[in-house]
Structure 1
Amino acid sequence: MSIGIFDSGLGGLTVLKEVRKIFPNEEIFYFGDTARVPYGEKTKELIIRYSKEITDFLLTKNINVLVVACNTATALALEELKAVYDIPVIGVIEAGVRSALSVTKTNEIGVIGTKATINSEKYKQEIHRRNKDIVVYQKACPLFVHVVEEGLLDGEIIESIIKHYLGDFDDKVDTLILGCTHYPLLKKEIQKIYPDLNLIDPAMETALDLKKVLTENNAAENKGGHVKFYVSDGVQNFRNIGSMFLDEEIEDIELIKL
């Protein structure tokens, strides 16, 4: 068995980290589309095209299951990928919603994400599909992706950006879904400013969804535990920043032009 994971860049490593906690022995192929990040300001048609190109590439590695570790691609391309490809395809939105609904006490949930994710209203639709009584507040936070990709995870600039975006949620929500896989890298800073806010990182729930899918498909366990990384640009930057929040060195990385 081998697992394919892709994201627009570094953010999907938060999902990879959780997947490896559950599946330390599996062979994993990770693709970060660093040449075309961020996805959140691009059209649905482009996101679908990029997602298919990456999936086609990962299929050459004989993956058995695909994890779309990108909220924008999940929102705009997941259903298309499920329809086109004959392997299980897992996204991150349902996982985040499920987790948020389990912890909210006030039935007021905030969602932050890229412009494309927020405009798609996929989170709001999924929340209301499960519970129509939830009040949902949404906000696009496009700068978060840029600062994370630059490795700026704390300090006065980050604190100012967080307050700029999340000030609108003051006293309105008790739970906030980090609706972009880049955003958990800012989790410590967000929690420092808003200590009473339940922050939902969909990565852990996504890994549990993957476990369920693999169990249902009776997937045999590997014993290698190797992760191969591919990026479409910026190998050294990806290696430096990615190693920082994976808490291990990224060695096996290759530049791929799609």
Structure 2
Amino acid sequence: MSSTKPIGLFDSGIGGTSIWKEIHNLLPNEDTIYLADSKNAPYGKKTKQEIIDLSAKNVEFLLEQNCKIIVVACNTATTNAINELRTKYNVPFIGIEPAIKPAANQSSTQTIGILATKGTLNSELFNKQVENLTNVNILEQVGYGLVELIEGGKIDSEEMRNLLKIYLRPMIKANIDYLVLGCSHYPYLIPEIEKIIPKHVRIIDSGQAVAKQTKAVLEKNDLLNVNEHKSQNIFYANSDPKVLKNILGFSNNVSYKDF
């Protein structure tokens, strides 16, 4: 058995496209539908109930588009809403969580840093994950203002560089050897982050792990698209799609729509 239905993904904006790219690279035959809820970004500033309500609205939109699986390509939405989504909707869900555990297990200095949204760091799911890691010192930093700058197309800006220096320098001083990116927007900052942190500090994001998990769940549920064809990828945005287009570029199999 197989399924030609699309994979659905959503995020509070363009950040989840970092997850989409990994899934598309691993599963090039799969059609995808991506929903960028930029109008409500960042989710990290919202209450748990607001995040649940927005996530449910996004899921319902993707299910209306006949999606066979939903990737919650947002750390904040995953850590605050995925349990409720799995209870409410009869479709497989893939979440994205900060890769704290592999960083902690591999750290030589027993000190790691995590850069994430307030909503992720304050979530019950994240704190349960951290409670079990008693062998490592975890420096948590809320990335105030980073998502807004990324959504505004200001990745390569002096304002961005200044914020990153403020957030990363205390971690460098504390001798971290791993930096965990706890927001799907943040992989787009890696070139800027690498200019600030020492070369020995490894940056970890969840993109490849999420792509592998998506493939595994599709296989388990007999939902993989086994047809070899050029996939169709539709990106829905509820704000100016200019930044989204700049990040993804133009391709014959990519289209942009409003919702």
User: Is the TM-score greater than 0.5?
Assistant: yes
The aligned amino acid for 2:155 is: L
Deviation for aligned residue 1:16 = 0.3
What is the CA deviation profile of residues 156-199 of structure 1, one whole-angstrom value per residue up to 9, with x for unaligned ones?
33221111111221232211111011111110110121132211
The corresponding residue for 2:13 is 9
**Residue 243 of structure 1 pairs with residue 248 of structure 2:** yes
- Give percent identity, aligned residues only: 33
Looking at structure 2, the residues matched to 249 and 67 of structure 1 have their Cα atoms a distance apart, in angstroms, of 24
Which stretch of the first structure deviates more once superposed, 215-224 or 196-205?
Answer: 215-224
The alpha-carbon deviation at position 134 of structure 1 amounts to 2.5
Asked if 1:208 is matched to 2:212, the reply is yes
1:166 corresponds to which of 149, 165, 168: 168
**1:243–1:249 contact (8 Å) kept in structure 2:** no
Q: Residues of 2 paired with 1:220 and 1:119: CA distance?
A: 35
User: Which residue matches 1:35?
Assistant: 39
**SS at structure 1 position matched to 2:257:** strand
Aligned to 1:55: 59
Aligned-pair distance for 1:18?
0.4
Higher mean displacement: 221-230 or 56-65: 221-230
Q: Which residue of 2 aligns with 1:230?
A: 236
Q: Which amino acid aligns with 2:61?
A: F
Show the 5 A alignment for 1:132-151: 132-151=134-153
Change (3 A) 1:75 1:161: same
Please give the root-mean-square deviation of Cα atoms over the aligned residues, in Å: 2.0
1:37 partner letter: A
Q: Which moved more, 1:158-167 or 1:27-36?
A: 158-167
Partner of 2:154: 152
Give how far 1:25 is off.
Answer: 0.8
**Which is worse superposed, 136-145 or 46-55?**
136-145
The 1:98–1:66 alpha-carbon spacing in structure 2 relative to 1, beyond 3 Å, is farther
TM-aligned CA deviation for residue 238 of structure 1: 2.8
Which amino acid letter does the alignment assign opposite residue 73 of structure 1? Answer: A
Choose 84-93 or 163-172, whichever is displaced more.
163-172
Find the aligned partners of 1:73 and 1:64 in 2 and give their Cα distance: 19
Runs of 5+ unmatched residues, structure 1? none
Secondary structure of 2:40's counterpart equals coil
Aligned to 2:189: 186
**SS at structure 2 position matched to 1:67:** strand
Higher mean C-alpha displacement, 230-239 vs 174-183: 230-239
**How far apart are residue 135 of structure 1 and its match?**
2.0
1:109–1:134 Cα contact (<8 Å) kept: yes
TM-score relative to the length of structure 2: 0.89
For each residue in 1:64-89, what CA deviation from the matched residue of structure 2 results, as whole angstroms up to 9, or x when unmatched?
11110001101110111111111111
Tell me whether 60-69 or 166-175 shows the greater mean CA deviation.
Answer: 166-175
Q: 2:86 aligns with which of 68, 82, 86?
A: 82
Shift of 1:104: 2.3
Q: In the superposition, relative to structure 1, how do residues 126 and 61 fare at CA in structure 2: closer, same or farther (>3 Å)?
A: same
Change (3 A) 1:127 1:213: farther
Which residues of structure 2 form unaligned runs of 5+? none
Q: TM-score scaled to structure 1, two decimals?
A: 0.90
- Shift in Å at residue 216 of structure 1? 1.5
Alignment check: 8 A CA contact 2:97 2:182 kept: yes
